[in-house]
C-alpha cells in the first residue's frame, strides 16, 4: 500500500517537473531530473534521486533574479 501511494505521488511530481522543465527550457535554465525511471524502485533507493532533484531546484532558484 505504501509503495502504491508513493508511486502516485511520484507520478504527480513527475508531471509538475515536466511542466517546470518546459518553463526552464524557455529561459535557458538547467533542467530538473525527471522521475520516470523510478517506477517500481524500492523506497530506500528513491531518496538519492529526490535529493538530486532538490539540489537542482535550489540551483534553479538561485538563478532566478529576485526583485
Residue by residue, pLDDT tens for the chain (67 residues) are: 566 666 677 777 778 888 888 988 888 877 777 777 766 777 778 788 888 888 888 887 887 777 7
**Collapsed DSSP state (helix, strand, coil) of residue 35:** coil
Question: Into how many domains does the chain fold?
Answer: 1
DSSP 8-state class, residue 36: G
**pLDDT recorded at residue 45:** 80
**pLDDT recorded at residue 61:** 81
Give residue 20's domain range: 2-63
pTM: 0.54
Q: Give the whole-angstrom CA distance, residue 33 versus residue 29.
A: 13
**pLDDT recorded at residue 63:** 78
**pLDDT recorded at residue 39:** 67
Q: Give the whole-angstrom CA distance, residue 24 versus residue 60.
A: 8
Amino acid at each position: 500500500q505504501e509503495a502504491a501511494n508513493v508511486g502516485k505521488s511520484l507520478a504527480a511530481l513527475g508531471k509538475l517537473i515536466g511542466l517546470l522543465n518546459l518553463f526552464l527550457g524557455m529561459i535557458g535554465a538547467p533542467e530538473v531530473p525527471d522521475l520516470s525511471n523510478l517506477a517500481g524502485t524500492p523506497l530506500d533507493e528513491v531518496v538519492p534521486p529526490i535529493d538530486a532533484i532538490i539540489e537542482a531546484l535550489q540551483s534553479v532558484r538561485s538563478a532566478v533574479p529576485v526583485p
